[in-house]
Structure 1
Amino acid sequence: MKNALVACMFGLFCLSAWGLIEVDRLSTPALSERYQKLVAEYRCPKCQNQNLAESDSPISVDLRSQIRRLLEEGASDTEISDYLVARYGEFVLYRPKVQASTYLLWLAPAVLLLLGVLIVVFVVRRQKRGASAIPTELSDSEREALQALLKQADTQQDTAANRQEAESK
């Protein structure tokens, strides 16, 4: 009796898991292929980082069934795209269309890369120009001034050393 109860429970659990698996029930293999392509192209409105094929959210399940229904009704890929964009906005597209409102999205990476390259070139040239502007040899007057400063420093060191010797005695 106990084994029969365990077998029944196991069977019920298996049936409930089988009910969760979504199966593509389309009339032709060509429609199934289009369906797989379409659900991979659209973003889940809730998950934001997953396409419809990968997401298990309720809205993704609903969108997949709508796409399946539209395919069975004979809608083209463009009509399905227009339907989804009209309902959920451009956000559902993983590859947004190039238009005036998306120029920044398409051009920003290239502009930022170009700006970075220009900054690097500017900094490198400025460093080279700054390094070459420093004279490597001293003029005669600069040498004399340097020698005078060195003599003055030596004199001060000698004076300080003499004081320490006198104090220590």
Structure 2
Amino acid sequence: MIRSSISLAAAALVLGGCVGMSRSETVSPLSDNWARSGRIETIALTKGDIKVTPEFDEIFKSRVKSKLDACAKGPTPLTLEVALDRLDKANPVLTTVVAGANVLRGQARLVNPATGAVVADYKIGKTIVGGRFAIVVMGQAEEQLSDAFGDELCKQAFLPTEK
């Protein structure tokens, strides 16, 4: 698995594109009933000691909500509580010469707003590696990582793999 991830990342870098790697895990899965009937109504965001732009909260919430609106289409509202503890942006100079990585780590808890009960809990981790020809995309780290967080939560909670 690690060897194939490294090979994939190397191939993307040679071609100048980007490749994403997941380090996510399920702490407590969303039940099938919630996965079918749930939708995200509200996003509450807290951040650890991470360096972001003043616009980050709005960027993150709108991009994550947009991604989740595409996969969580049920009638029952859920609150997404996000606690971010790491956001690293690629160094533009290093990215143009060799490669760079944008990294996001955090926790996503889905909460039933009617009861306050946590109905699912996930650790979300995304790393996006890009080469010199991907500098424009890599430079939009906050947008890129917000989209990746939403995609990853969709995949983990609302689009479970067949058993």
TM normalised by structure 2 equals 0.22
Structure having the higher strand fraction is: 2
Q: Answer 1 or 2: higher relative contact order, Cα 8 Å, separation at least 6.
A: 2
Larger radius of gyration: 1
